[in-house]
């Protein structure tokens, strides 16, 4: 039987996960984003991914006529985003020709107020909270449109648990467990998202 040390560990956005390297824990349970910097010092067992969608008012002609997210990278389009949020860099590189409107964090998944008040045309949102927002706030349109934006690849990021490097047997075992459970995990995620 595998002995696992469980301790609550604060996880930051830093590259290193010191508790792994110092042998305080065997693996993280909290989901971590896979980044090139982290891959230099830890190994990941990826089991999910996340990505962004953009949404706006369906009655806004700029949004109603858009066929892809590329349609918003032009003059005359206002893109709202949370300053200091994870999507800020993506917004700035994805929409260099649009007008960018940084707003302070208000505790919601996206700056909906900017869209509803017509101060912005679109804003990004993580694909998972989009489903709940769309049920709560009527009259919105999301892009990419397919599968309620759940198949978006925009700012796609793998998510997983981490272990310290140089543990090939442990990593192989964890990946085998993940592979065996992947279909079930995908089904459960889809069910949870739909119930939001």
* Average confidence (pLDDT) over 141-154: 92
pTM as predicted = 0.75
Residue 67 counted as domain residue? yes
* 3 Cβ neighbours under 8 A, 6+ residues apart: 26
191 & 149 share domain: no
Residue 3 counted as domain residue? no
Given pLDDT bands bounded at 50, 70 and 90, which one contains residue 11? Answer: very low
Higher pLDDT, 169 or 2: 169
- Structural domain that includes position 143: 50-154
Write the DSSP symbol of residue 122.
Answer: B
Q: How far apart are CA 51 and CA 32, in angstroms?
A: 14
pLDDT at residue 130, rounded to an integer = 93
| Strands annotated E in 89-153 | 99-103, 123-126, 140-143
SS3 for 45-82 is EEEEEEEEEEEEECCCHHHHCCCCHHHHCCCCCEEEEE
Q: How far apart are CA 114 and CA 142, in angstroms?
A: 15
Query: Contact, 130 vs 87, CB < 8 A?
Result: no
* 151 Cβ neighbours under 8 A, 6+ residues apart: 144
- The tens digit of pLDDT for each residue in 54-89 reads 999 999 999 999 999 999 999 999 999 999 888 999
Given pLDDT bands bounded at 50, 70 and 90, which one contains residue 26? Answer: confident
Of the chain, the percentage scoring pLDDT greater than 90 comes to 54
141 & 164 share domain: no
137 & 68 share domain: yes
Residue 176 counted as domain residue? yes
102 & 134 share domain: yes
pLDDT at residue 174, rounded to an integer = 93
92 & 167 share domain: no
């Amino acid at each position: 039987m595998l002995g696992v040390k469980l301790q609550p560990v604060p996880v930051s956005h830093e590259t290193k996960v010191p508790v792994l390297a110092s042998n305080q824990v065997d693996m993280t349970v909290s989901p971590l984003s896979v980044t090139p910097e982290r891959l230099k010092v830890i190994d990941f067992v990826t089991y999910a991914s996340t990505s962004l969608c953009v949404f706006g008012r369906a009655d806004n002609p700029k949004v109603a006529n858009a066929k892809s997210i590329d349609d918003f990278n032009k003059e005359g389009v206002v893109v709202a985003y949370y300053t200091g949020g994870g999507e800020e860099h993506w917004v700035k590189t994805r929409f260099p020709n649009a007008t960018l409107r940084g707003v302070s964090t208000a505790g919601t998944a996206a700056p909906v107020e900017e869209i509803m008040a017509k101060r912005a045309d679109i804003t990004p949102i993580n694909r998972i909270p989009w489903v709940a927002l769309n049920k709560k706030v009527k009259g919105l349109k999301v892009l990419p449109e397919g599968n309620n934006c759940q198949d978006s690849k925009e700012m796609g990021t793998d998510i997983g648990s981490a272990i310290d490097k140089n543990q090939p047997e442990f990593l192989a075992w964890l990946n085998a467990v993940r592979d065996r459970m992947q279909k079930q995990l995908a089904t459960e995620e889809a069910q949870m998202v739909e119930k939001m």
